[in-house]
């Protein structure tokens, strides 16, 4: 994995070269990086550690079929497909915030007793169809009026997911 030092720009440094083009789109640089605050910046740094760790797992991007068959929220699926096709996509409607919260609450890996299930999640992989999508979804949710409490709780849920990845012994 190639790491590029992007410290000359505002945002998270050390992002793998293969994902550098996504920094602004997922809120890891620019105005979002600054305005979302310390919790967001800490989550970004935690994502980077988890991304680096999971890169050794040998898992690759999801296929179109795997994405289609997954239980991921539709807007996230659309984004993944767009990345595989190298096309643009738009931010989902405001209703996505609730969809994301419901999705994260339903994951066994966001609960203490579900920590060991993290590696079975379809998105538990490096790259564009992997754990960076959790940041993307949170970034989308942050832009909706009234998302505050749900967003903060979801940041904690995703933090738990990234920490669970980091404690896996098989990585």
Query: 62-71: per-residue pLDDT in tens?
Result: 999 999 999 9
Kindly tell me the sign of the dihedral angle through the C-alpha atoms of 91, 96, 102, 106: negative
In a domain, 8, yes or no: no
- Decide if 63 is inside a domain: yes
Question: Which mean pLDDT values do the consecutive 10-residue runs of the chain (171 residues) have?
Answer: 49 94 95 94 97 91 95 96 93 93 88 70 94 97 87 95 84 59
Q: Is 164 left (phi over 0), alpha (psi -120 to 50) or beta?
A: alpha
pLDDT of residue 161: 93
**CB-based contacts of 15, cutoff 8 Å, min separation 6:** 3, 4, 6, 23, 28, 48
Structural domains of the chain, count = 1
Q: What is the pTM of this model?
A: 0.89
Residue 11 falls within a domain, yes or no?
Answer: no
Residue 12 in any domain: the answer is: no
Contacts of 11 (CB under 8 A, 6+ apart): 23, 24, 28, 29, 30, 33
Distance CA 4, CA 18 (A): 10
**83: Cβ contacts below 8 Å, ≥ 6 apart:** 128, 129
Residue 6 lies in a domain: no
Name the residue range of residue 93's domain.
Answer: 17-166
């Amino acid at each position: 994995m190639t790491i590029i030092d992007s410290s000359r720009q505002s945002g998270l440094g050390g992002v793998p070269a293969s994902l550098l083009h996504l920094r602004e789109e997922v809120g890891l640089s620019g105005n979002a990086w600054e305005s979302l605050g310390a919790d967001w910046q800490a989550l970004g740094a935690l994502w980077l550690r988890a991304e680096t760790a999971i890169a050794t797992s040998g898992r690759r991007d999801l296929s179109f079929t795997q994405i289609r068959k997954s239980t991921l929220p539709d807007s996230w699926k659309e984004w993944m497909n767009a990345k595989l096709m190298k096309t643009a996509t738009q931010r989902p409607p405001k209703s996505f915030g609730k969809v994301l919260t419901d999705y994260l609450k339903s994951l066994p890996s966001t609960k203490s007793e579900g920590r060991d299930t993290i590696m079975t999640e379809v998105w538990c992989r490096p790259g564009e169809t992997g754990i960076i999508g959790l940041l993307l979804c949170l970034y989308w949710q942050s832009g909706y009026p009234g998302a505050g409490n749900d967003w903060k709780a979801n940041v904690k849920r995703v933090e738990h997911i990234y920490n669970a990845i980091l404690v896996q012994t098989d990585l």
